[in-house]
Structure 1
Amino acid sequence: MQVTTKAIVLSGLKYGDTSLIVRAFTEQSGLKTYLLKGVLASKKGKIKSAYFQPLMQLEVVAYHKNKGTMERISEVRVNYHYESLHTNITKNAMTLFLAEMLANSIFEEEENQELYQFIEASLQWLDTHDEISNFHLYFLLRLTKYFGFFPQMGSTDAPYFNLLAGEFVYSTSLDPILYGENLKFFKMFLGINFDELHTVKMKKVNRQELLKSLILYFELHLQGFRKPKSLAVLNEVFS
């Protein structure tokens, strides 16, 4: 079946000497894996390997067999031209990290337009703003809404957040919890939007600790989730 759909690139893996295996989150069909034969060898072809950098926003014409096998792309164009996402060092490190987080979190081959539109709009915001040191924290927290484990908002005055239960609690247990300064920032992110991110003033250590807790939160609630290897690069850039 031929499909024209918007797609966000999650990963690209060299296959053989000249080909790429690309995983992309598509607006119409969810997660798809494409085999791009010879794309690394062809300099004059319509499909360029540069199109498949992490989190590129594309429009593709593809043939979907929907049998769990690799699909084929016949045409591609850039749907949104980034201004700074791949050229700014900080944003590029964040891009690699978020692409890996999304690749490790999205598994369904089915349409999810709300999730697609959230990711699409969020990346465009990141591309066009400068104060972005808290972006990844807020983005990951909001992402949990679409995966079904957004924090339960009852008892937000409680002194702890139970990461396993996904709720605010008044007593500790053997479950991993958020508390103290990190919980304060966690609550702040729950009550703002992207344009207010710059109002949350965090120290490097708090940012790293909260990110570590958010990754654990994903690990506890998403079966098959793997910790991102690019986390160390991101922490280095923000150190």
Structure 2
Amino acid sequence: MQVTTKAIVFSSLKYGDTSLIVKAFTESDGLKSYLLKGILSSKRGKLKTAYFQPLMQLELIANHKNKGTLETIREAKPIHPYKTLHTDILKNSMVLFLAEMLSNSVQEQGSDTGLFHYLQYALDWLDHSDPEPNFHILFLLNLTKYLGFYPDNEYKNASYFDLQEGMFINAPSLNPILEGKTLENFKHFLGINFDVLKTVHMTRKDRQELLAKVVLYFGLHLHGFRKPKSLGVLNAVFN
């Protein structure tokens, strides 16, 4: 079936000498994988390699068989050409990290317009704002709303947060927990939007410690989750 849909690129993997396998989250059908034959050798085709950089927002005309096999794309065009995401070194390091997190987190599923519109909004916000070193932490915590494990805020004044149970507790458990300064920093991100990120202040060390715990939180709640290789690159850039 031929469809016209918006899509956000999660990853591109070289296949053979001339082709790409692209994983993208579509507005119409959720997560899809496409085989783009010969795109690396063609200079005059309707598909350009540059369109399939991480987190590019595209409009696709695609063939969806919906049989669990690789789909095909007939045409693609950018719908929100970025001004800074792929040129600013801090933002680009975030993009690479978040694209890998999304690729490892969003499972095979049908259409989820709420998640799609959240991704659109967040990426557009980052593109049009000054580099914000805490953006990726809030992005990931907000993402858990759509993945089904956003932290339970009922006992927010408790002394610990149980990462396995996703809730605040008054006494430490045997599960991985947040406590002390890391817990206080964690609380700052709950219930806020991107526009107030500048009010959240952390040292580089505290940010890295909290981010490591957030990645662990994903790993505890998502079957088959892989720790992103780009995490080390992101931390190095922010050093």
TM-score normalized by the length of structure 2: 0.99
Partners of 1:122 and 1:175 lie apart in 2 by 31
Over the matched positions of the two proteins, sequence identity in percent amounts to: 61
Which residues of 2 match residues 9-48 of structure 1 at below 5 A? 9-48=9-48
List runs of 5+ in structure 1 lacking aligned partners. none
Tell me what 2:178 maps to: 178
1:121 partner SS? helix
Partners of 1:14 and 1:3 lie apart in 2 by 25
Partners of 2:23 and 2:131 lie apart in 1 by 29
- Residue 203 of structure 1 pairs with residue 197 of structure 2: no
Q: Is the 8 A contact 2:90 2:131 kept in 1?
A: no
Q: CA deviation at 1:159?
A: 0.8
Q: What is the one-letter code of the residue matched to 2:73?
A: I
Tell me what 2:156 maps to: 156
Q: CA deviation at 1:107?
A: 1.3
Q: CA deviation at 1:203?
A: 0.2
Superposed structure 1 runs of 4+ greater than 3 Å apart: none
Q: Is the 8 A contact 1:131 1:198 kept in 2?
A: no
Q: CA deviation at 1:139?
A: 0.4
Q: CA deviation at 1:109?
A: 3.3
Which residues of 2 match residues 1-239 of structure 1 at below 5 A? 1-239=1-239
Kindly tell me the number of residue pairs found equivalent between the two proteins.
Answer: 239
CA deviations over 1:75-116 (Å, ceiling 9, x no partner): 100010100000000111100000000000011231000000
CA deviations over 1:10-37 (Å, ceiling 9, x no partner): 0001111111100001011111000000
Q: CA deviation at 1:131?
A: 3.8
Q: What is the one-letter code of the residue matched to 1:58?
A: L
TM-score normalized by the length of structure 1: 0.99
Q: Is the 8 A contact 1:12 1:54 kept in 2?
A: yes
Partners of 1:46 and 1:108 lie apart in 2 by 27
CA deviations over 1:140-184 (Å, ceiling 9, x no partner): 001101011001111100010000010000000211001111111
Q: Is the 8 A contact 2:91 2:131 kept in 1?
A: no
1:208 partner SS? helix
Q: What is the one-letter code of the residue matched to 1:177?
A: I
2:105 partner SS? coil
Q: What is the one-letter code of the residue matched to 1:150?
A: Y
* Aligned-residue RMSD, C-alpha: 0.7
Q: Is the 8 A contact 2:3 2:61 kept in 1?
A: yes
Partners of 1:49 and 1:181 lie apart in 2 by 44
2:58 partner SS? strand
2:189 partner SS? helix
